[in-house]
Structure 1
Amino acid sequence: MTHLLEPLQASSLTLHNRLIMPPMATAKSEEDGGISQAVLDYYQEKSNGGYFSLIIIEHSFINPKGKASKNQLSVADDHVLEGLRSLAEVIHDNGSKTVMQINHAGSATTQEIIGDTPVGPSPVPHPRNGNPPKELTKQEIAGIVQSFQDAARRVKEAGFDGVEIHSAHGYLLNQFFSPLTNKRTDEYGGTIHNRIRLHLQVIEAVRAAVGNDFPILLRLGASDYKEGGITIEDSQIAAKEFEKAGISILDISGSFLGYTSPITSEQGYFSPLTEAVKKVVSIPVILTGGVTESLAAEQLLVAEKADLIGVGRAVFKNSQWAKQAIKTLVTVSPN
């Protein structure tokens, strides 16, 4: 059997193969962030056939001040629950497991989107949009932890198989992790352990809301690829702490450069990051980044660069990608 088609157990999550559809924003929600028919149709099409063992739903805002963009999905209040239940059912009916990604944009949003000044760990302009945020108070930080907890409860109530905490692509938790945007001098800034304090508080709060058997994933922006930013050594330390705190799967991606790498554009271009993280943890690690061929995905698994492979843009363009990829692998390796 090929590596890509092997099952994997992570916490209480049983995956029938190693192929993941990572979160990709669609901007298809209702104006208030509710689940629209367009969202249901999109995930129906992408999950058809159950070829992905896991589908991670695009980032969804935990409170209105953390909304990243127009028509972003919401997990910010209970009125979205019915729509979320429908979304989970669509994917389950097609034979895949599904996890919802929850997020706070921090300074990676605009006043136009949230109707207020964006917030961040420090009043440092966001490296991508240049907007200087308002520095969060400790009381406001506690409120954000509460919002993550409430969002995770809703994800579980809606019938999803797990929840993913977003700390990548320059959003709020990523802003706390990165020395480029976190200039705080209190217990949330300075050392690596202080810069992940908020992450650990969020993990603890989410765990309290969902119980011990519900998988919690964390998407980590593992490198800023910039002097003075997050290093892979930082991410190895963080990854060990996140595993200790109860994270079930680590989903590795980029930081302020988003889902791109300045070093290479070859398939699986985040593999140096996932390989380094995989060396220091025993939980599964997801690799995404430019994978467009099933044989490349297979080779990345064989080389032990990761435990699970996320294929995003190729599936965005071609909904039949996973079906075709698995057929190719079975043809090449019939045993």
Structure 2
Amino acid sequence: MSYLIKALDNCKLSLNNRLIFPPMATGKSDNGMVSQEMLDYYNEKSKGGYISLIIIEHSYITPQGRASEGQLSIAEDCNMEGLKKLAEVIHKNNSKAIMQINHAGSATNIDATGGYENVGPSAIINPRTKSDVPKELNKEEIKEIVETFKTAAKRVKDAGFDGVEIHSAHSYLLNQFYSPITNKRTDEYGGDVLGRIKIHLEVIKAVKEAVGNEFPVLLRLGACDYMKGGTKIEDSKIAALEFQKAGVDILDISGGLCGYTVPGRSKEQGYFSEITEAIKEVVSIPVILTGGIIDAQAAENLLSSGKADLIGVGRAVFRDSMWARNAIESCL
């Protein structure tokens, strides 16, 4: 039996195959609100249910953490009606739907945030976005951000989604705390890996308090920075095990301060596979692999060789909405 069409039923999120549509920013929101253009887009991508799980693009949990003008909002109750329609559109097509929640931290600017200053774990310029020097967050401000993650997660559940994904990749705030390049703190939120993921563990705990133990919680981890002095695979193995202990149900692996590609390996299909394979050695929860996968056979090979439990295909599906149907039917 093909691994790609094999069901996943060993976690809280039961899926009918191993194909995921990963979160990809579309810029289609209407000033943060769900637009008809966004509903049409996700309807088209999920049609037929050939993709078992759709992870909605990163959504900001507070205006201070807004990354761009066209980003979707999970920060206001007034968007709930649109979010409910978005979940319904995907469910109608027999796919599961997850919302990814995020705070941009230093990876934004005052034009995007509406006047709020950049913030981060330390007063260090974001090496990916080159934005202004951020204000270093104090402990009280960190607690406030943890609470906004909690409130956002409750909105996700109330809108009818099947789970929530915490974003800690691609140089955004939680990823900034995780990386020793951008986190130079000397208090309990800095130092070794366990210090740098303290905020993650607080967010996971808060989110689970908001949604309950039976609601699936995913975490997208920017596992390696691929930069001098940045995070490495060994860091991510330690972090992944702690996230599992804290109650994360699925780990979604991507890049750190380098973004969503690996320098020098952008043409390789599944270029984060060395990380997912290493993480699978230390955790028992499912692991999602994304990164340059464009061929169904490549996805099949990555699954059959034990590199990951789920495969995310983004740009190929973005270019061709029939990709998933063709891939699944080729495995039958």
Counting only pairs closer than 5 Å after superposition, residues 2-81 of structure 1 correspond to structure 2 as: 2-31=2-31, 33-81=32-80
1:293 paired residue number: 295
Question: Which residue type is aligned with residue 226 of structure 2?
Answer: Y
Per-residue deviation at 1:329?
2.0
CA distance in 2, matches of 1:325, 1:27: 27
Give CA deviations for 1:82-137 in whole Å, capped at 9, x if unaligned.
11000000000000001000000000001111112210000001002222101001
SS of aligned partner of 1:250: strand
Structure 1's consecutive aligned runs of 4 or more residues displaced over 4 angstroms after TM superposition are none
Distance of 1:128 and 1:209 partners within structure 2 = 32
- Residue in structure 2 matched with residue 200 of structure 1 by the alignment: 201
Match of 1:270 among 266, 269, 272: 272
Percent same amino acid among aligned pairs? Answer: 64
Cα distance, 1:244 vs structure 2: 0.2
**What is the distance in 1 between the residues matched to 2:189 and 2:224?**
19
**In 1, Cα distance between the equivalents of 2:11 and 2:79?**
27
2: CA distance, partners of 1:282 / 1:156: 25
Match of 1:333 in 2: none
Query: Structure 1 residue 9: deviation in Å?
Result: 1.9
CA shift, 1:328, in A, is: 1.9
Matched with 1:223 is: 224
Q: Matched residues in 2 for 1:26 and 1:40: separation?
A: 11
Contact 1:107 1:120 in 2 (8 A): yes
**Partner letter of residue 57 of structure 2?**
E
Q: Which runs of 5+ in 1 are unaligned?
A: 331-335
Deviation, structure 1 residue 205: 0.1
Give the AA of the match of 2:109.
T
RMSD over aligned Cα atoms: 0.8
What is the match of residue 329 of structure 2? 327
Q: Secondary structure at the match of 1:241?
A: helix
Residue aligned with 2:260, SS? coil
Aligned residue type for 1:125: I
Amino acid at match of 1:77: E
Offset from partner CA, 1:279-328 (integer Å, 9 cap, x none) = 10000000000000100000000110000000000011111110011122
Task: Report the Cα offset of residue 12 of structure 1.
Answer: 2.1
Quick check: 1:123–1:134 contact (8 Å CA) kept in 2?
yes
Contact 2:227 2:258 in 1 (8 A): no
Instruction: Output the CA distance in 1 between the equivalents of 2:150 and 2:246.
Output: 15
- Report the alpha carbon displacement of residue 77 of structure 1 after superposing the two structures with TM: 1.5
Task: Provide the secondary structure at the position in 2 that maps to 1:218.
Answer: strand
Residues 181-192 of structure 1: pairs in structure 2 closer than 5 A: 181-192=182-193
For the 8 Å contact 1:35–1:80, the answer to whether it is kept is yes
Q: Distance in 2 between matches of 1:7 and 1:311?
A: 17
CA distance in 1, matches of 2:38, 2:259: 23
Structure 2: tracts of 5 or more residues without a match: none
Q: Is the 8 A contact 2:122 2:183 kept in 1?
A: yes
The aligned counterpart of 1:317 is: 319
Q: Name the counterpart of 2:153.
A: 152
Does 2:106 correspond to 1:107? yes
Matches within 5 A, 1:116-131: 116-130=116-130, 131=132
Confirm or deny: 8 A CA contact 1:62 1:102 kept in the other structure. Answer: yes
State the alpha-carbon separation in 1 of the partners of residues 190 and 95 from structure 2.
40
Moved more, 61-70 or 261-270: 261-270
* CA deviation map 1:197-216 (0-9, x unaligned): 00000000000000010000
Corresponding position of 1:284: 286
Q: Is the 8 A contact 1:11 1:213 kept in 2?
A: no
Hey, what's the Cα distance between the residues in 1 that align with 2:268 and 2:161?
33
Instruction: Name the counterpart of 1:166.
Output: 167
Say whether the 8 Å CA contact 1:127–1:256 is kept in structure 2. Answer: yes
Does the CA contact (< 8 Å) of 1:222 and 1:232 recur in 2? yes
Residue-pair matches, total: 329
**Separation (CA, whole Å) in 2 of partners of 1:86 and 1:301:** 33
Give the Cα separation in 2 of the matches to 1:234 and 1:226.
14
Q: Post-superposition shift, 1:263? A: 4.2
Question: What is the alpha-carbon distance in structure 1 between the residues aligned to residue 128 and residue 222 of structure 2?
Answer: 15
2:12 and 2:275 mapped to 1: Cα distance? 26
- Distance in 1, matches of 2:190 and 2:12, equals 34
SS in 1 for 2:14: strand
Q: State the distance in 1 between where 2:260 and 2:88 align.
A: 28
The residue type paired with residue 60 of structure 1 is S
**1:149-174 Cα deviation digits (max 9, x unpaired):** 00000000000000000000000000
